Structure 1
């Protein structure tokens, strides 16, 4: 292994004209020199104070010209034009020799497939073996865990299956929250009932034409806020928006009054777009009749039924809805627990398993869009998958309207096993904000209240929310809402100390988080978020504000997931390159067990490994720093590591990330391309809510 690493690391060393591991920032007009500057001067410029012996020597004039030529030259083989979804689907359906029938791959019997010649996969075992890529070095991840590999002949570690020949029992899958096919069909046909959610929405006047008046009031409140001349008037407008609610919204858990309005109820058309999230007046549960509760739903018998002119049955929810919100909630305690943030793309199940091994206490799945869940999209439901090692696990959802979010909450509570449900009201991504979700809800406090109140009142699972300080920079508003959020029914709130407009361009405002925490009600747990990158950061926030329940760790865990170990052991871990490689091996093993050990699973694991490596290269080993700990916004000058593997791991080149993946998953396929999704090498553009 060491010989291979040494060979691959040649391009990243600092000798001669080779490209350094990390590019130095542009020099200022004063010709600032990192070789002569003190540590204090470097830190003032947000540069990492690397020990002088690890700095690359100044390049010669010829070296600079070669380096400039390298920068101008395109990175061949990394970014190519993507194929359309239709083209990819067509290629998958082609009966090529490499696409062996999964049933035949498991049994090695050509007669085992029930579809016979109608099967869209190949049944020629010999042709498949002739085109199958060589096995990858190492042991099958399922065999290593004492299980029988379900991928059989198609497994890229097939040669190691002989170790458990004759063992057909295997081990049960350690993942739960699989998407039920019957539930998916009901969602596809718009026949799923949401009895609790619709009853609560009806009691608050958020169904039918009552929604128009609520929307008009939100618009009036928004106009008032936009007309404010300064931050103080903006905060007053927020307070008035929260208090100026229709009478129906001030009454909590009222009885359902007789029949529905006479508004026409029409069947809801299937959404044209997966991500389209709309709500039309007059729609009741998508136009589907609320039927009697089935045994499958597992709800108790309803108290009474009333019928309107169209014979639509409305089932009044059980008496538990009449209890005070906090009296019927399950208890969950975030205090002093290490909380791994829900992370887009990289916060997948294998990465969460890895963080659990390294010391994380609380994990949360990637953000799922409510509209996609309610449309029965399997890819979105896969984000709710849970591993048995995640003993304190929640899911995060995002939606625009109370009806969409509350129905998704009821469905998740019915179909999945989770410890809490987090509603994202802080996601800064344009695609989410343009749908009036995520950070856009910060401009609509009345809608925030309705979403939390309805969702928390229909399930016993604790409801938490995640917010930013504000939508616009300089117009913070969470401090004016924090005292009411607990009364809405939320168990906890996570405050990211930045505005949506700010994104990640400045440091998180922890003083503002402390102020909000001290103003929160005693029944609301407050969790801080932003720039936690060492155990000293964790200790400081907890000591500066004892009322703070915990700190959520996001980018710090992406760059160095062993931060959880550092906090628990109260030390700066000068981790070696070999130890980091072992962590990558664990991720690959978890990934192959989750996505599969066949060719498709291997390449899916490789893709998510590369996405993660686009963050980890920013880690600077403790032994290379003059001042510790490293700050999350430090940019390093050109430097090299203590060995070839460490130098390779700190490279910002996507080509070097691919080389690291080849150490663990074998050679990439011909024509392989990769471009990081979140462009995290810009240091200030991370797309996590």
Structure 2
């Protein structure tokens, strides 16, 4: 590597260097604050939702909140792109519309197809090449276009139909030519492959859909939670009349917890025949040696988790959901619990500030998801201000008594489903308290597994994770378990893991059962293959583009293959590429393994495709998306979470 490169630069071989100047380091602290599922604003951020409050809740952001947004693109908005000419979805899927002529959308399928944008070609893996244009699309002469319906290309393939045997978007599908035929009357009819549909029902049908009746009960506050109600009454009585919603004593004695638990279970048994099992009957988690994908805000959606499972992730967890939003029946929040059958060990992560929010949420999750939920994780690590200041996330680290009450109540409400905890080392630098808190979480309050991110809330990503302290915490938990003759619970560490070598060195050094991988998986989802096979993978540019293709396929299967679904998939694919471009191919490095915090000088790849995949220009990310999803619509924009050039913005066009 050139000696002119500044300290902290990635050691790139001289023949690939274009300049010694390094890229600006992406602000992961700022990007971590973004979300996509609050207050009905599926495409906004938690900050946006908070800033848009009205009435007595409305306030100006503090100086600290303004500072926390530095490095992040604020006010992200992602419009939902629709067809210019809307066809009734029932007509599109071959059904009768009960509204008839009063339907606000057209029932004229022929007129819709005449005005519809031409079908997109979804390339197979065989179409991917290393040199421009990188995808071998069929020539214009090879396509089959019906003169009466020029939007339909009978040579295209629908990635949804190819997997499922049918396509839920019907005539609205942007890959319609892959599953349509013309009848004797000259009408277009969507086809179904019954054999394939039957086969895919088990392996492709997503789990954990929440019905409209459940949402209605939640929104009207009529959803019954008898176990939670009984537990909260106990807390209120223990507080000498103090409201259980606000009670948060600093300590809970273990014997008091156990006596309280036994009494409440007996009371609930009398009222409800389906009361959860006792603590001793909880499912034990056997996670030692398994790889764990961290719950990731916005980018940790179902298609991305599927991708990581393909590369070897054993344990997956949905994006952090807010307990209050679950209880209010937010469709956006409940969409976070969706699970693909390929996710063998799947959990839901919730954040909340008190028992009155988290315990009823746990009871509802257990009732609604049942056997399709392997664990629920309590977020005690989220550092962003607008979560912390409500008493949620990492704020719970300084409220041990409240956290204990939450854990006991959630365990009771969840039945045999285990409750786990993800936490940080502490709130402020120099004041770590996880070594005191973690032994109590398992032995006193029955946490089934613990994950410790080796940074304080204050530190965020400003320094490397403290794995020596993680080791100290593991030893404290194991000593308490040995003292009380308890079964060991899984303990995972987290922070900066970016290679197989680094992963296993951290496991051996700290004594954890595994490492939860977050940023490392965002930048290189194949890290799980590296960990499993204990090798560093010099993945080729073509293999990386195949990964992008697979993400697009999973996105279309999840979000839909109609115009809104295609562009939602495009948005999340660009989100993924806004992290993946940071990967530096190990074949370009002088020393291995690569490190997550090394900053990359300007470099070229070993071929043009590798160079394109390393581009930090969001216009190139959109260009890559167009290889699989067709041209981006006019007026479509993409603003990444990190501060950078936004596609479609005025600044990017100047």
Q: Give the equivalent residue in structure 2 for 1:442.
A: 397
Q: Is residue 617–residue 651 contact of structure 1 (8 Å, CA) maintained in 2?
A: yes
Query: CA separation in 2, counterparts of 1:485 and 1:463?
Result: 10
Q: 1:646 to 1:432 in 2, by over 3 A?
A: same
Which sections of structure 1, spanning at least 5 residues, go unmatched?
A: 1-33, 60-78, 219-240, 257-298, 305-314, 682-689
Q: Give the equivalent residue in structure 1 for 2:176.
A: 158
The yes-or-no answer on 1:536 pairing with 2:504 is: no
1:194-593 matches, within 5 Å, as 194-205=225-236, 210-212=241-243, 215=246, 218=249, 241-242=250-251, 251-253=259-261, 255=263, 303-304=269-270, 315=271, 323=278, 325=279, 327-416=280-369, 417-458=372-413, 459-486=415-442, 487-520=444-477, 521-522=480-481, 523-546=488-511, 548-593=512-557
Q: Give the equivalent residue in structure 2 for 1:278.
A: none
Query: CA separation in 1, counterparts of 2:390 and 2:497?
Result: 30
Q: Deviations over 1:603-625 (max 9, x none)?
A: 00000001111100110001110
2:580 to 612, 616, 620: 616
Query: CA separation in 1, counterparts of 2:611 and 2:237?
Result: 58
1:103 to 62, 68, 90: 90
| 1:562 to partner: Cα distance | 0.3
**Higher mean Cα deviation, 180-189 or 366-375?**
180-189
| 1:300 to partner: Cα distance | 12
Query: CA separation in 1, counterparts of 2:419 and 2:322?
Result: 16
Query: CA separation in 2, counterparts of 1:142 and 1:213?
Result: 49
1:178 to 209, 214, 217: 209
Q: Give the equivalent residue in structure 2 for 1:187.
A: 218
| 1:502 to partner: Cα distance | 0.9
1:140 to 150, 158, 165: 158
Q: Deviations over 1:569-603 (max 9, x none)?
A: 11111111100000110110011000000001000
Q: 1:248 to 1:205 in 2, by over 3 A?
A: farther
Query: CA separation in 1, counterparts of 2:559 and 2:247?
Result: 47
| 1:638 to partner: Cα distance | 1.0
| 1:526 to partner: Cα distance | 1.3
Q: Give the equivalent residue in structure 2 for 1:56.
A: 18
Q: Deviations over 1:385-424 (max 9, x none)?
A: 0011111111111111112101000100110120111010
| 1:201 to partner: Cα distance | 2.4
Q: Is residue 233–residue 244 contact of structure 2 (8 Å, CA) maintained in 1?
A: no
| 1:639 to partner: Cα distance | 0.8
Q: 1:251 to 1:301 in 2, by over 3 A?
A: closer
Q: Deviations over 1:251-271 (max 9, x none)?
A: 432536xxxxxxxxxxxxxxx
Q: Is residue 56–residue 638 contact of structure 1 (8 Å, CA) maintained in 2?
A: yes
DSSP 3-state at the match of 2:422: strand
Query: CA separation in 2, counterparts of 1:680 and 1:370?
Result: 32
| 1:358 to partner: Cα distance | 0.6
Q: Is residue 205–residue 249 contact of structure 1 (8 Å, CA) maintained in 2?
A: no
Query: CA separation in 2, counterparts of 1:51 and 1:431?
Result: 43
Q: Deviations over 1:214-235 (max 9, x none)?
A: 95764xxxxxxxxxxxxxxxxx
DSSP 3-state at the match of 1:431: helix
| 1:106 to partner: Cα distance | 1.2
Q: Is residue 497–residue 513 contact of structure 1 (8 Å, CA) maintained in 2?
A: yes
1:625-664 matches, within 5 Å, as 625-664=589-628
Query: CA separation in 2, counterparts of 1:577 and 1:498?
Result: 34
Query: CA separation in 1, counterparts of 2:541 and 2:462?
Result: 30
Q: Is residue 199–residue 317 contact of structure 1 (8 Å, CA) maintained in 2?
A: no
Q: 1:384 to 1:680 in 2, by over 3 A?
A: farther
Q: Deviations over 1:31-85 (max 9, x none)?
A: xxx7334xxx85xx211011000011589xxxxxxxxxxxxxxxxxxx9xx9999
TM-score, with structure 1 as normaliser: 0.73
Query: CA separation in 2, counterparts of 1:383 and 1:602?
Result: 19
| 1:544 to partner: Cα distance | 1.3
| 1:248 to partner: Cα distance | 6.6
Q: 1:53 to 1:662 in 2, by over 3 A?
A: same
**Higher mean Cα deviation, 578-587 or 433-442?**
433-442
Q: Deviations over 1:501-552 (max 9, x none)?
A: 1111110001100100011043332110111100111111121133x11110
Which sections of structure 2, spanning at least 5 residues, go unmatched?
A: 22-43, 54-76, 123-156, 182-189, 482-487, 646-654
Q: Deviations over 1:12-48 (max 9, x none)?
A: xxxxxxxxxxxxxxxxxxxxxx7334xxx85xx2110
Q: Give the equivalent residue in structure 1 for 2:26.
A: none
2:558 to 594, 616, 624: 594
Q: Is residue 535–residue 566 contact of structure 1 (8 Å, CA) maintained in 2?
A: yes
Q: Is residue 195–residue 317 contact of structure 1 (8 Å, CA) maintained in 2?
A: no
